Structure 1
Amino acid sequence: MSYPQSSHGELHLYPLPALESNYIWAIVNDRTRQAAIIDPGDADIVQAWLMQQPTLELAAIIITHHHHDHTDGLAELIARFPALAVYGPTDVEGVTQPLHDGDTFTVLDQPAAVLATPAHTIDHLCYLITPQEKSAKPILLTGDTLFMAGCGRLFEGTAEQMLRNMERFAALSPDTAVYAGHEYTLNNLAFALAVEPDNAAIQEAKARASAARAEGRATLPSTIGQERRTNPFMRTHKATVIQAACRHTGRPASDDPVHVLAALRHWKDTF
């Protein structure tokens, strides 16, 4: 099987499709020939990929949150590679390097920062890797918090928490590449168009994503700049988004971004 890749200097990222819609992201440092795996929901898929990379050493696993589709392969990989460093939330069994908001660590010889993003789950962490090469763009691993044109369901947290996450992401450099945990893009963009049907950036993104899926390619990564233009959950301050949310709820217009995000998330849950 051939795996497409995207590059950030000496780091190369590969999407390994798993389960119904997951991506297990594999990150390779081409210089050191070490790899890190993000959210291994299926150990067999990871091992099949590693068999095609005989010169690689699996050095680390990074976990974003405790849901089974992001962790089910962890125990098997630890058993096979007992020297692995496993980074993640404190409540995930098998994590050897428990992390918290604001922590920094080094993965594949590159600096990474931890962003706690509770809402989808209370323990959810995202990771910002900043390659040392000046020309390489930052890498944001968002699990189930931020998707292309969408956000995660509020299983354990609140709309207020998710809004803070969106605001935190929006403050990052616009060229930051966003690597999410699922291929939800076409459905998310269809919803975004229902919210803002005249948004040309969403229309263009949907055309590109449709072409990618027709060719069997991943639609990811996105960028923070694109999310600012297309993601309704990151655009709760925009008049068009506020008006659409209020029309959907049938309630008087409110520019409170928490109320807007909550209305959008409830709408998206049944979209």
Structure 2
Amino acid sequence: MLSITEIPAFNDNYIWILGAQDSEFVYVVDPGTAAPVLAYLNEKNLTLAGILITHKHQDHVGGIRDLQAHYQGNLPVYGPKAEGIEGITHHLIAEKSLFLPHLASNVEVIHVPGHTLGHFAYLIEDAIFCGDTLFSAGCGRLFEGTPEQMLSSLNRLASLPAHSKIYCAHEYTQANLNFALTVTPNNPHLVQYASWVTKARDNKVPTIPAELSTELTINPFLRCHTSEVKMAVAKQFNIEVTDELQTFTLLRKWKDHF
């Protein structure tokens, strides 16, 4: 069984620390900076066994060099070869299982292009570490990929077991909900979730991880196949919407300018 802890960084990033229950060895996902990671490890008397990277953006990789230096270069760093990330020691292939020493579970490596072309997500037990691909009530911007690629990536994640938990890299939930409520204001699941999120954030409680089962009912980017979202997009752009890809493409454009 995994133990997972969030380390807040920058304005709204989450760096994830994970390890087998009661193990002194842990892994870190997307360390954009090293200082809070090292502080946490020191406080909890833990040893860093390796780093998992989802994609190349600086707020996800900026701490690699300092963490490797702290461990005198003996720290494995796993990540996508296509992203050209400095410091990667183990270039991974998508759709393969990765075995990590000190973890009792295999890691499923999933290629999720869209935000960047080489973006990976990692499924470990019921935890999905998806970087900037899927957020609670939203999804990542398309910096490199096409709408078709991002929609395919989101559908791939949506097909995972509904009890899976989304460990994304940012606390964007409230901002995403403001948009989602504009798209489908009469969705009762969304209204209820928004109320919970408001209370959580008022008390400085993280909204991540999010349940995939919840996202399937409230996240408009996972619901582009529904008549509700299609109708909202058609009304916003005053055009006829015919399919899921067109709906997603226009929905992402709408969000980009929201």
Shift of 1:33: 1.8
Aligned length: 253
Q: Aligned-pair distance for 1:32?
A: 2.6
Deviation at 1:63, TM superposition (A): 0.3
Aligned with 1:103 (options 96, 109, 112): 96
1:67 maps to which of 52, 57, 69: 57
Q: Is the 8 A contact 2:114 2:149 kept in 1?
A: yes
Q: Once the 2 structures are TM-superposed, how far is the Cα of residue 165 of structure 1 from its aligned partner?
A: 1.0
1:109, CA displacement in angstroms?
Answer: 2.8
Matching of residues 150-229 of structure 1 within 5 Å: 150-229=138-217
| 2:119 counterpart of 1:124 | yes
Where structure 1 has 5 or more consecutive residues not aligned to the other structure, the ranges are: 1-8, 131-137
CA contact (8 A) 2:77 2:89 kept: yes
Paired AA for residue 257 in structure 2: T
Could you tell me which of 70, 75, 78 is aligned with 1:80? 70
Counterpart of 1:46 in structure 2 is 37
TM-score of the pair, normalised by structure 2: 0.95
Aligned equivalent of 2:219:
231
Shift of 1:18: 0.7
SS at match of 2:121: strand
- The answer to whether the Cα contact below 8 Å between 1:139 and 1:176 also exists between their aligned partners in 2 is yes
Aligned partner of 1:248 among 197, 220, 236: 236
**CA distance in 1: counterparts of 2:244 and 2:187, whole angstroms:** 19
Whole-angstrom CA distance in 2 between matches of 1:229 and 1:153: 21
Most deviating of 120-129 and 161-170: 161-170
In the alignment, structure 2 segments of 5+ residues that lack a partner are: none
2:65, 2:24 → 1: CA distance?
23
**TM superposition shift of 1:88:** 0.6
- How high is the TM-score relative to the length of structure 1? 0.91
Tell me by how many angstroms 1:65 deviates: 0.2
Task: Give SS of 1:110's match.
Answer: coil
Cα displacement (A) at 1:80:
0.9
**Whole-angstrom distance in 1 between the partners of 2:70 and 2:137:** 37
3-state SS in 2 of match to 1:52: helix
* 2:112–2:154 contact (8 Å) kept in structure 1: no
1:194 and 1:100 map into 2 onto residues whose CA distance is 39
| Corresponding residue for residue 6 of structure 1 | none
Contact 2:31 2:63 in 1 (8 A): yes
Runs of 4+ with >4 A deviation: none
Counterpart AA for 1:71: V
Question: Distance in 2 between the 1:128 and 1:139 partners?
Answer: 6
Which residue of structure 1 lines up, in the alignment, with residue 253 of structure 2? 266
Cα distance in 2 for partners of 1:215, 1:52 equals 24
1:93 aligns with 2:60: no
Query: Cα RMSD (Å) of the superposition?
Result: 1.0
User: Matches of 2:139 and 2:222 in 1, distance apart?
Assistant: 9
